[in-house]
Amino acid sequence: MSANLPPAHPFDDDKLREECGVFGVIGVADAANFIALGLHALQHRGQEAGGIVTHDPDTGFNQMRRFGLVRDNFTSPGSMAQLPGSIGIGHVRYSTAGSKGQTAIRDVQPFFGEFSMGGAAIAHNGNITNALSLRRELIERGSIFQSSSDSECIVHLMARSMGRNIPDRMEEALRKVEGAFSVVAMTRTKLIGCRDPLGVRPLVLGQVGEGWVLASETCALDIIGAEFVREIEPGEMVVINGNGVQSHFPFRQAAPRFCIFEHVYFSRPDSQLGGRSVYETRENIGRELAKENPVEADLVCPVPDSGTPAAIGYSLESGIPYAMGIIRNNYMGRTFIEPTEQIRNMGVRLKLNVNRALIKGKRVILVDDSVVRGTTSRKIKEMILDAGAAEVHFRIASPPTSWPCFYGVDTPQREKLLAATMSEEEMRDHLGVDSLKFISLDGLYRAVGEANGRDSNCPAYCDACFSGEYPVAPSDMIEDGFQMKTAAE
């Protein structure tokens, strides 16, 4: 089995990756500065590239797209002076698995288009599951695409709409889109926000002075001193101008299915989701994990940084001391050094190092948020054993990830997911640990506030990566040969 698994890049920390973060602001002086700060707070949602579009009555629309981190591109006075105006939107991105390393600057959002009633820019977090069929249809009708991004479909659909204004055109376009979308858009005078009917990806509304803010997470409001007002509801569109916030619900109502992995890993622990602290939810996950999967040990250690709140919860529930058995080097850049064979053999040691004096002779519980390919988990286990640990027990703060996500997450193909090809016992043997246990799906639901666990008839969250039950059929992937879950599974 293990021979078929792909070798990991030495800097690949083997995590699922949220693809995007979005931010928009209206009614503030120097909007671009607010956007840059907001995108910096959302950097965990996308580190490959970023873009900002603003509008100023004197200079019109201004845009800047750059590869790399926000701090390296959108902090100099010279750069920010090129983005004047009191309204603007921004975007940070990861590329999808298929185009990683081949991204062109034209793929970087926000996308901008000139329509008969004026210009508009749009930034999208999520994934359009019928993008290929929409793209084919639009190209046949004469549309000329500039990027490989599924999000550009929305711009072309807006161009073909007969709506009287930009919000109407955007509404008509989004009705033709399947999948997940949290969108921020702007015209010369309006900031627009919209979530898909299932509300898979997050979007929140805030207020800063006399101005308004839309952002993927509440931590982006905190950084600019904005007050959290509320979450944009699933299926809601808000249009914000000088008269305030107008809200309506243009889509057919559906039972919400927010992404449960936002609670497990994607969102920053200092954000709030659904009125709940992400940090407290992750601590609850650790407590549930300890109840379901106890083991005798001397220390509970997180795999930093994503496993930390769950490890604290596991320690509090089990009474086993919490310890920083692995230390993270926060200054490890993504291109720190060329990955020669010598460096490749160092593996994750460039990012993580074992606290040897603490670990030696101890029975250690390692708490991590997920196991995807398992490559990093094996390396961490080897480092812990090299440091003299007596036993290594993995406890995972999510159920086995055995299905890919098609709603805005960079997931490997199903056959590359460890849990898709191995049982829990086989995974334990493959990783070479004394025990391996995952939280149950019911336990995860209890930790996020569903006291009775998961309602299989009407789940409160999208958990397709664990259950294989997709709330929106991924039509493009099915057409490409993807096999949906069968009744037997």
- Distance (Å, whole) CA 411 – CA 406: 8
Q: Can you tell me which residue has the tokens 């799906």?
A: 441
Could you confirm whether 259 is annotated as catalytic?
A: no
The DSSP line for 65-98 is EEES-HHHHS-SHHHHHTS-SSEEEEEEE---GG
How far from 246 is each of 23, 236, 316, CA to CA, in Å? 18, 10, 45
**CA distance linking residue 177 with residue 130, whole number of Å:** 7
CA of residue 444 relative to chain centroid, distance:
18
- Is residue 48 classed as helix, strand or coil in its secondary structure? coil
Q: Which residues pair with 394 in a beta bridge?
A: 366, 436
- The token pair at 78 is 């010279």
List all residues 6 or more positions away from 363 whose beta carbon is below 8 Å from its beta carbon: 296, 297, 298, 299, 389, 390, 391, 393
Q: What are phi and psi of 329, to 5 degrees?
A: -90, 105
CA distances from 332 to 98, 328, 351 (A): 25, 9, 6
3-state secondary structure string, 170-222? Answer: HHHHHHCCCEEEEEEEECCCCEEEEECCCCCCCCEEEEECCEEEEECCCHHHH
Kindly list the catalytic residues. 20
